[in-house]
Structure 1
Amino acid sequence: MTGDSPAVSERWLLAWGTGYAAVGAASLLLPLYAIELGAGAFLVGAMASTAAFAGVPGAILWGQLAARTRRRRPFVLVALASVAGVLGIVPLLGSPWSLLVANAALWFVVSAAAPVLNLIVVEGADAAEWDVRIGRLNAVQGYGWVAGLVLGTVWTATVSRLLPTVAAQELLFVVLAAAGAMATLAAIRWYPERPTTSPERFDRIYHRLNRPDWGAGRYLRATPYGTARLYWGIREWIAARRRGRRPGGSFDRTLRKYLVAVGLFSVGFAVFWGPMPVYLTETGSSTGAVFVLFLLANAGSAVCYSPVGRLVGKRGPYTLQAVALGGRALLFPGIAVVGIAAPTVATSANAVGFTLIGVTWALIAVTATGIVTRLAAEPVRGYALGAYTAIAGIGTGLGSIVGGGVAEVAGYPATFVGAGGVVLAALGLFVWSVGFDGGGSRASS
């Protein structure tokens, strides 16, 4: 970014945030559109699963290409143009299974740009400033995501009253494609020219970065594990394994058990969220109501992120995470119980429930990174954070498709009760292995 003023050099983030707003709206609009075309719980869960998994090979492939070519600009422009292209052709697709492919393609190109974006935002800055710059990128993405959900909410509350549901959804895809096209044109104009920060330098410094402070972006979604963190974490992990050891030694027993608990509760979360759009539509919620509920979950996380950070600083992360996991273990089946026992108040109850689930996500997201940081010794801390991110991301992908399959076979009450049971099992493992004080392991901060 050398030679540009700060306003000029970072203006391109507005273009990326606009593109991410289109992605945020499409993340929920795509499964809702698939439902209107006849998709069931399994297919919608598979869409969530492919969204979790498709980005990883994209990030690895594009990360390697960017390293070899030492170019960044083409990858950002292709990502934004592809968002516009994929969303533009969605209304022409008539099969739910073709939407599964489109959804995977969307997440492939969006996530592929993640490692490239990390390199761009740290260009020309000292390593001490990288946390702030990456945090700014995450915040732009996070608020763009929420802006997309707000657009979907407003659109479905207005346009859907004037047009049939499918027509209104298809028109919204056109609007989102236009937003992606405008973001591409803006990026062409504003994007800073050829950077010089190498992936190797970023990789060397990554494990020393203070990732819990990487901005609001990661915490604004109900079940997010950012592909950028997953990519760099996997890259770190593979590099360490190739050297035959993890620098500084291995993870201690308490940390290993906690990472198993992370895998369990990540699966449980995704079992709940995977078939959720189908459940809501089949129990009478309109498209607009579904957008509102997901927006409430995101807002619950966003509002609580900073207060939770302060609370963790005062009380530590262990008890707070136990409370959050216990809350989710009750809230997940509670959604099903209310839907069956009191359908007349289900909409209001769901609004409260989704907001509380969002609050628990803020607690879990903040405390999890804090716990890993405390349980891991300094030489392996970065690698432990990478392992945590990878395990959580894999659990999210697996749980999404399992949740859709269970809902298809056994119904939603069994799915949500099962999700709560998995989270409860993770809570039991957490309390047994880590406890409320870190399990007596070295708790360095």
Structure 2
Amino acid sequence: MRIRSARFALATVVFAVLLAQVLLYPGIDTLVAALGAETALNASMWFLATEFAAFVLFAGVWGALSDAAGRRVPFIVAGALAGAVGYVLLAVLPQALRLPFVAVLGLRALQGAATIGAFSLSITMLMDLDGGHGRNMGAAGIAIGGGTALGAPLGGQLYELDPFAPLFAAAALLVVVGALAALVEDRAPSDRGGRLGAVRDTIRGTPEIVVPCAFGFVDRLTAGFFALVGTLYFRQAFALSPGQTGLMLALFFAPFALFQYPFGVLSDRIGRTIPVLAGSTLYGLAVIGVGFAPTVLMAGAAMVGVGVIGALMAPATMALVTDLAPDAERGVAMAAFNAFGSLGFLAGVLVGGTVADEVGYLAAFLTVGGLEVAVATLAIPAFLRLGLTDLDSRVPE
């Protein structure tokens, strides 16, 4: 399979995994109620947090196993099919067996542990391709943005049919992912250096990796925030239905998807520093702007701004991981990045949900947007001290 065809196939896999995941977001309070939860905000928070806690715990496991085996495809197929089973079990078992909500969270954890393998290793396979790291990560970014952009409105419409419809649709998508991934040629490095402690060892051996991982953490923190707090905020503040909420989320995800690839190519030309540092600062301010928007139209416009700015920084941040990681450790490097990102999503759900519950939605927007700006500001000395700005003059095209 040619590089371009492989890039398209792998981006399609990433797209489908994210589409399946985001289908659940627009009516998350409706879903947890159907699964037996007695509260909206707290139950939704733990339902989302459980999946991403599993992501954090198992991203490194999948990456290390893949590097050790010198292959990616079998693990992607296994993760996708196991994730499909997990989604079906979530839709069927709680009703059939009258499971308590804590048992539902256990099923959610198993589904998340499987799904992260398909997602993380698909991105890793994109890292294995030639053709420019920014271009490859731009393809990953547009797939992520496209999946989330379509998933939000589609999930909202599925909720209008049945609370469990998004779960069955997600399972079907992961079956397709497994079949498609099986057709892609493995290009994993032959040096089998992976092991379960490899994420820690990679960070020790290449400490610069911590910088893009920190940005991955805070960027995904805002994603987790919008998945929970943003969804419930739009529904309560503007009285939106699940379908309308899905369209509101799509105002962010659509431009986030459309501009990922060209901005990824741009970062190959101008380097990573400006997109990562300047983009993150503007991104945090735009998130705060959503919370201050007095009308649904202004909030929608602010969401578009968040999407465009997010598209500027996301592929450059992922490409920076590729620039820094040794070839034989790309799997664990991307696993580390995804683990930090998943931990950030988890933090966004927990921190955003807690602040919104205790203080209010505006305080939650200020907290999350302020964290993004703070990380960008604090990272400037690290970029200079570690010589990351020097990479800009030798970024591969």
TM-score, normalisation: structure 1: 0.64
Shift of 1:412: 0.9
Q: Report if aligned partners of 2:223, 2:345 keep a CA contact under 8 Å in 1.
A: yes
What is the CA–CA distance in structure 1 between the aligned matches of 2:220 and 2:179, rounded to whole Å?
40
Question: What residue in structure 1 maps to residue 32 of structure 2?
Answer: 34
Call closer, same or farther: CA 1:20–1:308 in 2, change over 3 Å.
Answer: closer
Amino acid at match of 1:180: A
1:180-234, Cα deviation, whole Å (9 max, x unpaired): 35975x78999959x9979884755xxxxxxxxxxxxxxxxxxxxxxxxxxx897
The CA RMSD over aligned residues, in Å, is 5.0
- 1:74 Cα deviation after fit: 6.0
Mapping of 1:2-401 within 5 angstroms? 21-34=19-32, 38-58=38-58, 76-89=80-93, 100-114=105-119, 146-155=149-158, 160=160, 168-170=161-163, 172-173=165-166, 176-177=167-168, 180=171, 184=175, 201=190, 236-238=198-200, 240=202, 246=205, 250-251=206-207, 260=214, 263-264=217-218, 266-267=220-221, 270-271=224-225, 273-283=227-237, 284-338=239-293, 342=294, 346-372=295-321, 376=324, 382=330, 387-401=336-350
Evaluate the alpha carbon distance shift between residue 259 and residue 441 of structure 1 in structure 2; reply closer, same or farther with a 3 A threshold.
farther
Residues 83 and 171, structure 2, Cα contact 8 Å, conserved in 1: no
Amino acid at match of 1:297: F
Task: Return 353-362 or 328-337, whichever deviates more.
Answer: 328-337
Give the CA deviation at 1:172. Answer: 2.7
Letter of the aligned partner of 1:41 in structure 2? L
CA distance in 2, matches of 1:27, 1:265: 18
Q: Secondary structure at the match of 1:26?
A: coil
Shift of 1:21: 4.4
Structure-1 separation of matches of 2:64 and 2:377: 41
Task: Name the residue aligned to 2:358.
Answer: 409
CA offset at residue 85 of structure 1?
Answer: 2.9
Counterpart CA distance in 2 for 1:368 and 1:19 is 20
Q: For residues 340-378 of structure 1, what are the alpha-carbon distances to aligned partners after superposition, in whole Å with 9 as ceiling and x for unaligned?
A: xx3xxx21122212222121221121222344556x486
Q: CA deviation at 1:275?
A: 1.9
Amino acid at match of 1:85: L
Structure 1 residues 20 and 423: alpha-carbon distance in aligned structure 2, compared to 1, 3 A threshold: closer
Alpha-carbon spacing, 1:439–1:54, altered in 2? closer, same or farther (3 Å): closer
Instruction: Report % sequence identity.
Output: 18
In structure 2, the CA distance between the partners of 1:113 and 1:202, relative to structure 1 (3 Å rule), is farther
Q: Are the equivalent residues in 2 in contact too, given 1:269–1:423 (CA < 8 A)?
A: no
Q: How many residues align?
A: 377
Shift of 1:401: 0.9
> Structure 2: how far apart are the matches of 1:12 and 1:306?
14
Equivalent pair of 2:290/2:302 in contact (CA under 8 Å): yes
- Give me the whole-angstrom Cα distance separating, in 1, the residues matched to 2:179 and 2:333: 40
Q: Assess if the C-alpha contact under 8 Å between 1:29 and 1:169 holds in 2.
A: no
Q: Which runs of 5+ in 2 are unaligned?
A: none
Aligned equivalents of 1:134, 1:324: Cα separation in 2: 16
Give the distance between the partners of 1:381 and 1:190, measured in 2 at CA.
Answer: 25
Name the SS of the counterpart of 1:400 in structure 2. Answer: helix
Pick closer, same or farther for the CA change 1:422–1:96 going to 2, 3 Å.
same
Residue 361 of structure 1 aligns with an amino acid whose one-letter code is G
d(CA) in 1 for partners of 2:223, 2:174: 33
Determine the C-alpha separation between the residues in 2 that align with 1:422 and 1:264. Answer: 7
Q: TM (normalized to structure 2)?
A: 0.70
CA distance in 2, matches of 1:63, 1:262: 17
Provide the rounded CA distance (Å) in 1 between the counterparts of 2:256 and 2:278: 15
Alpha-carbon displacement from aligned partner over 1:127-155 (angstroms, at most 9, x marks no partner): 769x9999989977875555443422444
Secondary structure at 1:39 match in 2: coil
Q: Give deviations 1:292-316, integer Å, cap 9, x for gaps.
A: 1222221111111122124334433
1:17–1:144: 8 Å Cα contact kept in structure 2? yes
